[in-house]
Amino acid sequence: MILTIDVGNTNINVGAFKDEECVFISSLSTEKLKLGDQYACDFLNIFSLNGVSKSDFSGCIISNVVPELSHAIEGAVYKVTGLTPMTIGPGIKTGLNILVDNPAQLGADIVAGAVAAINKYPLPCLVIDLGTASKITALDKNGNFCGMIITCGVKVALDALSKNASLLPNIRITAPKNVIGKNTIDCMQSGTVFGTASMIDGLIERFQDEMQDPIKSLVATGGLSKNIISNCKKEIIYDQTLLLDGLRIIYNKNKK
């Protein structure tokens, strides 16, 4: 099996693949002060919960947008599996043609999601990733990475609102019954969920205005996507394993 790990600013997603089949997917909170041994214990617990052994793995690949955790995560993987993980970065073949000003600035998670989308869905395609940041990436009919938008993540914006407005509470990110709220919580939920959904619908139209060919696939991933895209007017596919699939594909391109 191949162990895939996506280290994000909020969560660390861990998945295992046997050939193309996802055996399990699990998540940890990202904690920048946690030591490698602590992450090693977390990985062992995840393996145990999912009925797999550390000896079942023949390879590992990591995408990481939290450089402070590189040593801890890579060390933890080696400690529990004996494998030196492959890490998305310079020298790794992805097969992705990146048409932006500075390809080196593109996050490893974005690369992995784009690679998976190209391999799994009809092109042109937009990939919507709603996590710590909200991102939409554009892939043209030839699988070129054309560019993207990045804006404040749903929870980050909501936390900032509650922190800076004394009378506004913390709320669950779920859709209320009506757009026009009658109480504070419904009003905030409407603005958060329906507002983000409307932003995504509007941005999809703007992307289409700038792309030469009709968009054939809209794919969403990320921890908050499921709650949001169900309220979009556009038909968007939810793909929980998209980034981990991309890591699997990149690993297979680079394995010796």
Report CA torsion sign: 110, 42, 9, 215.
positive
Active-site residue, selected from the candidate residues 6, 42, 109, 239: 109
Q: Which SS3 state, helix, strand or coil, does residue 154 take? A: helix
Residue 160: Cβ within 10 Å count: 11
Determine phi and psi for 175, rounding to 5 degrees.
Answer: -80, 135
**Amino acid in the structure at residue 53:** S
Strands (DSSP E) contained in 90-143 are 97-98, 125-130, 133-139
Tell me the CB-side half-sphere exposure of residue 247, using CA atoms within 13 A: 30
Angle at the Cα of 127 from the Cα atoms of 124 and 133, rounded to 5 degrees: 150
CA end-to-end span of the chain, whole Å? Answer: 15
Q: Is 109 an annotated catalytic residue? A: yes
- Catalytic residue set: 109
